[in-house]
Amino acid sequence: MTRFAAPIAEQIWDMKYRLKEADGTPVDGSAEDTWRRIARALAKREADPAAWEDRFYRALEDFKFLPAGRIVAGAGTDRSVTLFNCFVMGTIPDTMAGIFDMLKEAALTMQQGGGIGYDFSTIRPRGAAVAGVAADASGPLSFMDVWDSMCRTIMSAGSRRGAMMATMRCDHPDIEDFIGAKADSARLRMFNLSVLVTDAFMEAVKSDAPWDLTFGGKVYRTLPARELWNRIMRATYDYAEPGVIFIDRINQANNLHYCETISATNPCGEQPLPPYGACLLGSVNLARLVTEPFTEGAALDDTALDELVRTAIRMMDNVVDASRFPLEAQAREAEAKRRIGLGVTGLADALLMVGLRYGSPEAAAQTEEWLKRIARAAYLASAELAREKGPFPLFDAEGYLASETVRAMDEDVQAAIRSHGIRNALLTSIAPTGTISLYAGNVSSGIEPVFAYAYTRKVLQNDGTRTEEEVVDYAVQLWRETHGDADLPDHFVNAQTLAPEDHVRMQAAAQKWIDSSISKTINVPEDISFEAFKDVYLQAYESGCKGCTTYRPNEVTGSVLTASEDRAETPVLVKEAEGGAEIVYMSEPLDRPQTLEGNTYKLKWPDSEHAIYLTINDIVVGGRRRPFEVFINSKNMEHFAWTVALTRMISAVFRRGGDVSFVVEELKAVFDPRGGAWVKGKYIPSILAAIGGVIEQHLVATGFLEAEGMGLKTDPQAETARTAAPRRKACPACGQYELRMVEGCLTCAACGHSKCSG
């Protein structure tokens, strides 16, 4: 008998969480072995390890408590990785030496698997004077480009590349450049971007007042606050970034308001953290705690929930002591405050099981009730741990009890804290749970709605063939097992059928009892008007949310997946073609005519004795020019080998036809650790990036690309290939077309890959 509720759950476990030898030989023979490994490792921190190991095991059993993936994969192993998910790095000094010291720290953190956040507001704006060198500053975005290139070179633990969050204050002089940075689809791809919005700015927006952009006490520019707000809204409407973080609200509500100031978050936004702040994550699986589902007596087992939360808090507190840290400053910060982030997953499934429509006022009220119970149990458990093991070192009773979150707690909770202190400064957070939700049987992710009730997944077999299997939402599968082919009840809804205000209502209900923050994506329809779209963010602010992230399918962001709804039977996902940067392979390479039309470009790289010459020849297909071959030449013999190799590889890709714009994106992303160069006022991270830029200019000039950083124009040859292989975003890990936007991250439903390291 397997404990896995679906084949995909076992496959995710085998790929990501199962302990194996270096040669691939399994050490964990079953899910039970994985649970036992984690329980044993965390129980070692107790005075009586044997007694606690069994309690910890029972919490993990049947996927009731889901530690974050880093804990599942790393606890009880000899791997040199951190068990923490979230880091905000140190404050960036406004000096060249300090900036690159921070870059080194970022690389070391991502090498161990941590997703990181940075506030770039501390770097002087572009054009500001640099004392002593008779030069102007290049501004924070130029350094973000360097960070982005570095991140591409670091393979994060667990075979995932690192993810980063960049924030900038709404009053920084370069804020407009920051807002528009993602208009170039090839730029800052390793970053999520969020604007730090203050209460003063929101009041200025409401009153249509002027807004000063300042740095170091100097006003650089004044513009209408509403104009800047509309710029933010227009950018996220067009290409899904930047998000918005209500930073004053975060600091005012922070339990540690008396000893820290927050100005950044981790990549998915659920953990606002101070400099060198670190947090680990875990989730209670509400879908496993509903008794008598789909009946009149359906309810969450409150007693089981309380016990599970108590045990989970103790386990997570032990992770603080069991984990490694990339930097000593992170270890000190974690030990001083012992932050943890216990959240939920399977919320939407649990609501379906008890007969509530996600997004309705009734569902929001039930969510608020469940989250309050979890918060209450968590704070009581941590106070009890403080009585037993001592409070976190920076605990100050007067300051802590004055925080907004603690003042909202029941009197007996406040009394327990007053008597014993509290072991963990902050305790609750709702994190992205895309992969662990699949591992737990495809339960709904975090507090998100069910994305789709079912979809078809292609599975690669050992002989190279692919078979298809249906992946069904946990609650839908449970309904099928108890009701056969009966139609789904009317209260079953998914992400495609919800109004934006339903999303906001659910996020706001949960936020009341979350002391950190929430990772959630508010999916909005493609045809939503700009005015209605803006209202979503105002609703989020007015309803008490700490931030807001939306996703609107469009020509830039793409339509990741859509669902075909039919009330008569379980809906199945239909994959749609979308404009992306993936290859569409032709059955045969394009034939070369006797003559081709082309252009030659001269590229002069600073400090290089000889120029590089690029010749790009085009073929005409359906009356349109498209690239066919490239020749790269230089008199510098040190360049000979790599230019020949690059010539052959790029030409081979061009001759396959289809969408080849990814060549430009990949070349422009290459980072030279020896340093790039400033060319025509723009920082180019490497000579290969410069070559990518020249190719891009040619593709724009010939009409193959609409503009720098923009997507393809219609390619007739690629159109003919779409009937056999629709063009859409492929997962970079498994190559399947199952990417979906969940909790602010593109996540693959086929293999669980996510761009966010969590």
Query: Is pLDDT above 80 for 589?
Result: no
Mean pLDDT of 682-705: 87
The CA distance from 169 to 558, in Å, is: 28
Segment holding 679, helix H or strand E: strand 677-679
- 604 token code pair: 């002069």
Query: Is pLDDT above 60 for 227?
Result: yes
Mean pLDDT of 389-400: 98
555: confidence class by pLDDT, cuts 50, 70, 90? low
The CA distance from 115 to 757, in Å, is: 5
Closest CA to 338 of 353, 361, 311, 319: 319
Q: Is 254 a catalytic residue?
A: no
**Packing angle, helices 225-239 and 199-207, rounded to 10:** 100
- Number of Cβ within a 10 Å radius of residue 624: 16
* Torsion angle in degrees (nearest 10) through CA of 375, 376, 377, 380: 120
The CA distance from 53 to 68, in Å, is: 18
How many H-runs (helices) and E-runs (strands) does the chain carry?
25, 32
Give the phi and the psi of residue 649 in degrees, each rounded to 5.
-65, -45
Query: Is pLDDT above 70 for 219?
Result: yes
CB-facing half-sphere around the CA of 369: CA atoms within 13 A = 11
* Fold category of 7-82+264-420 in CATH: Anaerobic Ribonucleotide-triphosphate Reductase Large Chain (3.20.70)
Q: How far is CA 413 from the centre of its chain?
A: 34
370: confidence class by pLDDT, cuts 50, 70, 90? very high
Q: Is 268 a catalytic residue?
A: yes
Lowest mean pLDDT among 174-178, 304-308, 389-393, 495-499: 495-499
Segment holding 469, helix H or strand E: strand 466-472
The CA distance from 644 to 612, in Å, is: 12
Mean pLDDT of 292-317: 97
Give pLDDT tens digits for 172-199. 999 999 999 998 877 888 899 999 999 9
Q: What percent of the chain has pLDDT over 70?
A: 85
β-pair partners for 626: 619
201: confidence class by pLDDT, cuts 50, 70, 90? very high
556: confidence class by pLDDT, cuts 50, 70, 90? low
Closest CA to 175 of 142, 215, 213: 213
Catalytic residue among 105, 260, 270, 333: 270
Residues 6+ apart with CB under 8 A from 681: none
User: Tokens 């008998």 belong to which residue?
Assistant: 1
Look up the pTM and report it. 0.79
The CA distance from 47 to 536, in Å, is: 50
Mean pLDDT of 615-641: 82
Evaluated on CA atoms 667, 668, 670, 673, the torsion sign reads: positive
Task: Check residue 557 and give its pLDDT.
Answer: 61
Query: Is pLDDT above 60 for 122?
Result: yes
Please give the DSSP secondary-structure letter assigned to residue 336.
Answer: H
Task: Check residue 654 and give its pLDDT.
Answer: 86
Catalytic residue among 86, 170, 268, 731: 268
Averaged pLDDT of the chain: 86
The CA distance from 740 to 729, in Å, is: 10
Query: Is pLDDT above 70 for 1?
Result: no
The CA distance from 370 to 373, in Å, is: 5
The CA distance from 758 to 742, in Å, is: 13
Q: What percent of the chain has pLDDT over 90?
A: 61
Closest CA to 57 of 69, 45, 41, 68: 41
Is residue 290 classed as helix, strand or coil in its secondary structure? strand
Residues 6+ apart with CB under 8 A from 531: none
Query: Is pLDDT above 50 for 354?
Result: yes
The CA distance from 113 to 126, in Å, is: 32
Query: Is pLDDT above 70 for 581?
Result: no
Query: Is pLDDT above 80 for 360?
Result: yes
Segment holding 71, helix H or strand E: helix 69-74
CB-facing half-sphere around the CA of 561: CA atoms within 13 A = 28
User: Tokens 């990518």 belong to which residue?
Assistant: 692
Catalytic residue among 192, 254, 255, 266: 266
Give pLDDT tens digits for 7-46. 889 989 998 999 999 888 999 999 999 999 999 999 999 9
Closest CA to 19 of 8, 4, 5, 35: 35
Residues 6+ apart with CB under 8 A from 669: 148, 149, 152, 186, 189, 685, 689, 692
Instruction: Measure the N-to-C terminal CA separation of the chain; round to a whole number of Å.
Output: 30
Query: Is pLDDT above 50 for 723?
Result: no
Q: Is 565 a catalytic residue?
A: no
Task: Check residue 538 and give its pLDDT.
Answer: 95
CATH 3.20.70.20 positions along the chain are: 7-82+264-420
6: confidence class by pLDDT, cuts 50, 70, 90? confident
